[in-house]
Amino acid sequence: MADTISIRPAGTADDWTIPQGWDRYTPEEHATWDTLFARQLRQLPGRVAPEFLEGLDVLRLSRPGIPDFAELSDRLMAATGWQVVAVPGLVPDDVFFDHLANRRFVAGNFIRRPDQLDYLQEPDVFHDVFGHVPLLANPVFADYMQAYGRGGQRAAAMGAIDRLARLYWYTVEFGLIRTDDGLKLYGAGIVSSHAESIFALDDPSPHRLGFDLKRLLRTKYRIDDFQQNYFVIDSFADLLDVTLNTDFGPVYQELAGQPDIEVDTIMPEDRVYTRGTQDYARRKATATVG
Ligand SMILES: [Fe+2]
């Protein structure tokens, strides 16, 4: 994901990409990938959007362990015209949007340590590739990601990046989708997390609300713990449609005069799938204070 840093590290190209350096991964690093991959494969069936499971096939490459981005990009290019490029970590917003607008997904090339399986500060290759790439093999979601990149470029020109970032957060990272078989996960931040892939679907604590673009763009989010609210889309086609067919300029202007909505608030007009107890967040807050 993008950040506000702007000093390009030595050794990166103008677009902040670096060689993945697949040959430099250690057996231990490949084993960490295999452990995380196997663990999520056991957990996700029945919980995740079918499109994600279908897309997982692009990750099954000729060599085990951390995917080789060259081979992965060949697969993805054939499916939807996307590529995966390596970066050393977070990249500036304009660089991030330019890559997405050109159907390039930026992925960290490092992997978490074995003692960090459940915790990491910066997105690593498991989050970026396992979490994000399967849906990039889906033609509709692939178009959505490009549309988001283009929207990001326009938002930058309008000083509205922070507001648009909420759309990425609540869909690409932490989105839920309605299916005939109940709610399912698709956000990369959820599907790549062993704990949140249970919490987001099963825990009584968070709210689960129907996706509404303007409402979502007014809603804060938290980066330090499980989400307190999730937004549920009806379909990827709907998500793409609203993103392509909304004139965001007037929306940004309209919303600039309205207060933000807190993460635990339910509005009278919300479509409520689950009215959460918020017990988890309350317990954590109490524990922190106490
Ligand atoms: Fe991500």
Q: Is residue 127 annotated as involved in ligand binding?
A: yes
Would the annotation count 262 as a binding residue? no
CA of 290 to the centre of ligand 1 (A): 32
> Residue 37 contacts by C-beta under 8 Å, 6 or more apart in sequence?
59, 126, 130
CA–centroid distance, 108 to ligand 1, in Å, is 10
Is 30 labeled as ligand-binding? no
Using pLDDT thresholds of 50, 70 and 90, give the confidence band for residue 67: very high
The domain of 217 spans 2-289
CATH of the domain at 174: 1.10.800.10
Whole-number Å distance between alpha carbons of 112 and 227: 22
Task: Please list, in sequence order, all residues whose beta carbon lies within 8 angstroms of the beta carbon of residue 40, skipping any fewer than 6 positions away.
Answer: 130, 191, 192, 194, 197
- Radius of gyration of the chain from Cα atoms? 19
pLDDT score recorded for residue 2: 56
Instruction: Kindly report the backbone phi and psi dihedral angles of residue 87, in degrees, each rounded to the nearest multiple of 5, phi listed first.
Output: -135, 160
pLDDT tens digit sequence for 83-100: 999 998 889 999 999 999
Q: How many CB atoms lie under 10 A from the CB of residue 13?
A: 11
Ligand 1 mean position to 124 CA, how many Å? Answer: 9
Residue that has been written with the tokens 């009278």 in this structure:
268
Summarised one tens digit per residue, pLDDT across range 184-220 is 999 999 999 999 999 999 999 999 999 999 999 999 9
Q: Which of 116-125, 186-195, 223-232 has the lowest mean pLDDT?
A: 116-125
| Paired tokens of 7 | 């000093």
Determine what percent of the chain is predicted with pLDDT higher than 90: 87
pLDDT tens column, 68-81: 999 999 999 999 99
Query: Ligand 1 mean position to 128 CA, how many Å?
Result: 6
Tokens 């604590």 -> residue: 205
Tally of structural domains, the chain = 1
Closest by CA to 106, choosing from 188, 167, 224, is 188
Query: CA–CA separation, 51 vs 238, rounded Å?
Result: 15
Can you say whether residue 278 is alpha, beta or left, with left for phi > 0 and alpha for psi between -120 and 50 degrees? left
